[in-house]
């Protein structure tokens, strides 16, 4: 499976939490329709630092529980600390999206967010595996992912576009599909699930100071792949520093798609 390219620093953790806030506001009703209700057994696959897992656990409380899985040990450590602090029932474990180690056929809801775009060539095998985790007779698989062709950062320094071009080239080399959100319904159908929802929306966000997005978070991978030099990183850093004293003019625009498949 392709190596995940993002580094989990404080700004990246903050970005995950911002994304979770936006997702819960926009998708709350669909979460509950898909099975995030009191008493539910939920799997959050590719949980990252746990920002979504704690929200799902709150919906499943008091008798439900969330199994949060990620292959990144650092992300799991953050997720464990977060769930302990808020006191919600989340069990974390290490595993990949197509080999979670979770019990088959036991989950009311299996959620996967913003993972497929980072696993080129493995999208269908991942969704096939998730389908086996959903309980027969109504368990659901909930997918969320992007169409990066829609991404814009208004007011960003010119260096942003250069950095973003290098980031997209990285994904091309890895065989990743940054428009995978537009075909989530096809992946669910091919996994033998009934598609009961497929929708998309445009997020409009004002990035807080210090948040530079996934291209910046992938800078070490860009260096390792020869797509950036230390001078490039320093130049991009300097350009962002010059605009971060006033982020009021910055606006991020990007499309996210969600789809729900039900197991018969």
Three-state SS sequence of 20-72: HHHHHHHHHHHHHHHCCCCCCEEEEECCCCCHHHHHHHHHHCCCCEEEEEECC
Instruction: Tell me if 206 sits within 8 A of 251, measured CB to CB.
Output: yes
Confidence bin at 17 (pLDDT 50/70/90)? confident
Rounded to the nearest 10 degrees, what angle do helices 73-86 and 51-60 cross at?
A: 40
Give all strands of the β-sheet with 109-113 in edge-to-edge order: 90-94, 65-70, 41-45, 109-113, 140-154, 251-262, 194-205
Confidence bin at 1 (pLDDT 50/70/90)? very low
Q: How far is the C-alpha of 163 from the C-alpha of 214, rounded, in Å?
A: 10
What is the pTM for the complete model shown?
A: 0.91
Mean pLDDT, residues 4-24 = 69
| 45: β partners | 69, 112
Task: Report the SS3 class of residue 188.
Answer: helix
Confidence bin at 109 (pLDDT 50/70/90)? very high
Confidence bin at 2 (pLDDT 50/70/90)? very low
Whether residue 4 is predicted with pLDDT greater than 50 in this model: the reply is no
What the block records as the tokens of 15 is 């970005």
Residues in contact with 106: Cβ distance below 8 Å, sequence separation at least 6, in sequence order: 41, 133, 135
**Domains of the chain, start order:** 10-147+176-202+254-262 (3.40.50.150)
Whether residue 184 is predicted with pLDDT greater than 80 in this model: the reply is yes
Whether residue 93 is predicted with pLDDT greater than 90 in this model: the reply is yes
% the chain with pLDDT above 90:
73
The per-residue pLDDT for range 111-164, each reduced to its tens digit, is 999 999 999 899 999 999 999 999 999 999 999 999 999 999 998 888 999 999
Mean pLDDT, residues 45-65 = 93
Least confident of 189-198, 206-215, 226-235: 206-215
The number of angstroms, rounded, from the C-alpha of 59 to the middle of its chain's C-alpha atoms is: 19
The per-residue pLDDT for range 232-264, each reduced to its tens digit, is 999 999 998 888 777 778 899 999 999 999 999
Least confident of 3-17, 52-66, 148-162, 228-242: 3-17
pLDDT for 33 equals: 97
pLDDT for 6 equals: 45
pLDDT for 12 equals: 64
Least confident of 33-47, 174-188, 210-224: 210-224
Least confident of 19-23, 131-135, 184-188: 19-23
pLDDT for 11 equals: 63
């Amino acid at each position: 499976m392709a190596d995940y390219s993002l580094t989990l620093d404080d700004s990246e953790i903050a970005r995950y939490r911002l994304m979770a806030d936006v997702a819960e506001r926009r998708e709350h009703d669909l979460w509950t329709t898909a099975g995030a209700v009191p008493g539910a057994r939920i799997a959050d696959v590719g949980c990252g630092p746990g920002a979504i897992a704690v929200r799902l656990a709150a919906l499943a409380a008091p008798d439900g529980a969330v199994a949060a899985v990620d292959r990144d040990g650092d992300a799991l450590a953050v997720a464990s600390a977060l769930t302990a602090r808020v006191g919600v029932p989340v069990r974390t474990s290490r595993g990949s999206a197509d080999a979670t180690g979770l019990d088959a056929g036991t989950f009311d809801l299996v959620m996967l967010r913003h993972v497929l775009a980072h696993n080129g060539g493995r999208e269908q095998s991942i969704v096939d595996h998730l389908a086996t985790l959903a309980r027969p007779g109504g368990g659901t698989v909930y997918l969320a992912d992007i169409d990066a062709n829609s991404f814009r950062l208004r007011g960003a320094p010119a260096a942003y576009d250069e950095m973003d071009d290098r980031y997209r080239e990285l994904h091309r080399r890895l065989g990743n599909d940054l428009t995978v959100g537009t075909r989530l319904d096809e992946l669910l159908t091919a996994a033998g699930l009934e598609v009961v929802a497929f929708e998309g929306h445009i997020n409009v966000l004002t990035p807080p100071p210090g948040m530079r997005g996934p291209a910046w978070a992938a800078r070490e991978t860009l260096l390792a792949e020869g797509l950036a030099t230390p001078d490039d990183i320093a130049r991009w850093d300097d350009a962002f520093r010059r605009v971060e004293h006033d982020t009021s003019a910055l606006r991020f625009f990007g499309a996210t798609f969600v789809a729900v498949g039900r197991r018969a």
